[in-house]
């Protein structure tokens, strides 16, 4: 087995988030599904940018946010994702490295521009995402390095990678290398609409044991099993997944293993400002815990702490040290 270099290595879309506040009328006027993620082309991206209010640019991307969170816990973290060699690509690379994450994927010299997601945050803290994948969808098997994957305790993949074929191929190759090295593979389902597109294939990944740890929220779980009944969906998940965690916003989460299901409460927050990144940061805490040998319920408590930190400010990456917060709350030494 290779020497352990990383606690968690993430593969995902390298995206810069462009975040603005908006009301529900704006979403309706522009045909957006509140709380969802829509893939858009460059023309629609430019139209949304023109229409939206003052915006903040913050590096994002689901798996990248998670990996930044893992690093904030003091863990060894790496990220693989594709940007263009353009101003936003440089912003992304700077930000993730500044968060303490190794990021060595060479930028594309030509082709589509760096991916960006136009995120509208409504007064209730809900975020609605419009994502132009651009250069991110050109992540390919050429960006996969077997030695790096074999040196990570957990390889973490985002469901959004399932949309472009070459990223899907890279995903499967990475999972195979990880398992050959006797490492773990984790997957987040990313979005209920993503599950609608790829339901059978996601189920296949679990049933074939391509994925060892699955993350889903309630909407994604209901979409996966096409039922509105939570207990029915949970029972089906228990049959399919080795280890899964279903996040339930203020109701906390449910850790699902073959033998048992454990509910873990949400961490208390003063005020919800922006739910962007809540699931990503929950995954960061959970993966950090598992990589460091914690029981699943303890890992979920670390996840709840990280999610609580990120929803109390704008943007999807932690502003406080998660390691310090965990120590203050008695969750790690």
pLDDT in tens, the chain (333 residues): 568 999 999 999 999 999 999 999 999 999 999 988 898 999 999 999 999 999 988 888 999 999 999 999 999 999 999 999 999 999 999 999 999 999 999 999 999 999 999 999 999 888 899 999 999 989 999 999 999 999 999 999 999 888 888 889 999 999 999 999 999 999 999 888 889 999 999 999 999 999 999 999 999 999 999 999 999 999 999 999 999 999 999 999 999 998 889 999 999 999 988 887 899 999 999 999 999 999 999 999 999 999 999 999 888 899 999 999 999 999 988
Owner of token pair 């998660």: 322
Q: Given the DSSP bridges, would you call strands 102-103 and 77-80 parallel, antiparallel or unpaired?
A: parallel
> Which helix H or strand E contains 20, and what residues bound it?
strand 15-21
Is 31 inside any structural domain? no
Is 169 inside any structural domain? yes
Does residue 98 contact residue 64 with C-beta atoms inside 8 Å?
no
Q: How confident is the model at residue 4, as a pLDDT?
A: 92
Range of the domain at 95: 6-12+62-103+138-328
Q: How does DSSP assign 297-324, residue by residue? A: HHHHHHHHHHHHHHTTSSSSS-SS-HHH
Q: How confident is the model at residue 1, as a pLDDT?
A: 56
Helices then strands, counting H and E runs in the chain, come out as 12, 14
The pair of three-digit structure tokens given for residue 257, joined into one six-digit string: 């293993």
Owner of token pair 């949309």: 163
Integer Cα distance of 72 and 319 in angstroms: 9
Is 24 inside any structural domain? no
Q: How confident is the model at residue 200, as a pLDDT?
A: 96
Is 221 inside any structural domain? yes
The 3-state DSSP class for residue 189 equals: coil
pTM for the model stands at 0.91
Total tally of structural domains belonging to the chain? 1
Q: How confident is the model at residue 37, as a pLDDT?
A: 85
Is 227 inside any structural domain? yes
Is 35 inside any structural domain? no
Does residue 280 contact residue 65 with C-beta atoms inside 8 Å?
yes
- What's the DSSP call for residue 180? H
CATH code for the domain of 318 = 3.40.1190.20
- What's the DSSP call for residue 108? B
Is 189 inside any structural domain? yes
Is 333 inside any structural domain? no
Does residue 179 contact residue 185 with C-beta atoms inside 8 Å?
yes
Q: What are phi and psi of 108, to 5 degrees?
A: -75, 135
- What's the DSSP call for residue 53? -
Rounded to 5 degrees, what angle do the CA atoms 94, 98, 104 make? 60
> Which helix H or strand E contains 8, and what residues bound it?
strand 6-11
């Amino acid at each position: 087995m290779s020497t352990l270099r990383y606690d968690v290595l993430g593969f995902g879309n390298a995206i810069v988030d462009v975040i603005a506040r908006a009301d529900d009328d704006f979403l309706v006027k522009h045909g957006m599904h509140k709380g969802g993620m829509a893939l858009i082309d460059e023309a629609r991206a430019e139209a949304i940018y023109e229409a939206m209010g003052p915006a903040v640019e913050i590096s994002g991307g689901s798996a990248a946010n998670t990996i930044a969170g893992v690093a904030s816990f003091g863990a060894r973290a790496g990220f693989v994702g594709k940007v263009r060699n353009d101003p936003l690509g440089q912003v992304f690379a700077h930000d993730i490295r500044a968060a303490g994450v190794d990021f060595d994927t060479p930028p594309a010299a030509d082709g589509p521009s760096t991916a960006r997601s136009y995120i509208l945050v409504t007064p209730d803290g809900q975020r609605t995402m419009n994502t132009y994948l651009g250069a991110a969808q050109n992540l390919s098997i050429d960006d996969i390095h077997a030695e790096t994957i074999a040196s990570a305790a957990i390889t973490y993949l985002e469901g959004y990678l399932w949309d472009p074929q070459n990223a899907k191929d890279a995903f499967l190759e990475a999972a195979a290398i990880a398992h050959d090295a006797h490492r773990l593979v984790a997957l987040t389902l990313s979005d209920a609409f993503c599950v609608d597109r790829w339901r059978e294939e996601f189920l296949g990944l679990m049933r074939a044991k391509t994925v060892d740890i699955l993350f889903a929220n309630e909407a994604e779980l209901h979409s996966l099993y096409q039922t509105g009944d939570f207990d029915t969906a949970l029972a089906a998940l228990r049959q399919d997944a080795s280890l899964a965690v279903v996040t339930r916003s203020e109701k906390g989460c449910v850790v699902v293993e073959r033998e048992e299901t454990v509910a873990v409460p949400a961490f208390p927050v003063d005020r919800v400002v922006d739910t962007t990144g809540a699931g990503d940061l929950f995954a960061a805490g959970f993966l950090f815990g598992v990589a460091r040998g914690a029981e699943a319920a303890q890992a979920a408590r670390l996840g709840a702490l990280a999610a609580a930190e990120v929803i109390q400010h704008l943007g999807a990456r932690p502003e406080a040290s998660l390691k310090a917060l965990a120590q203050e709350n008695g969750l790690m030494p």
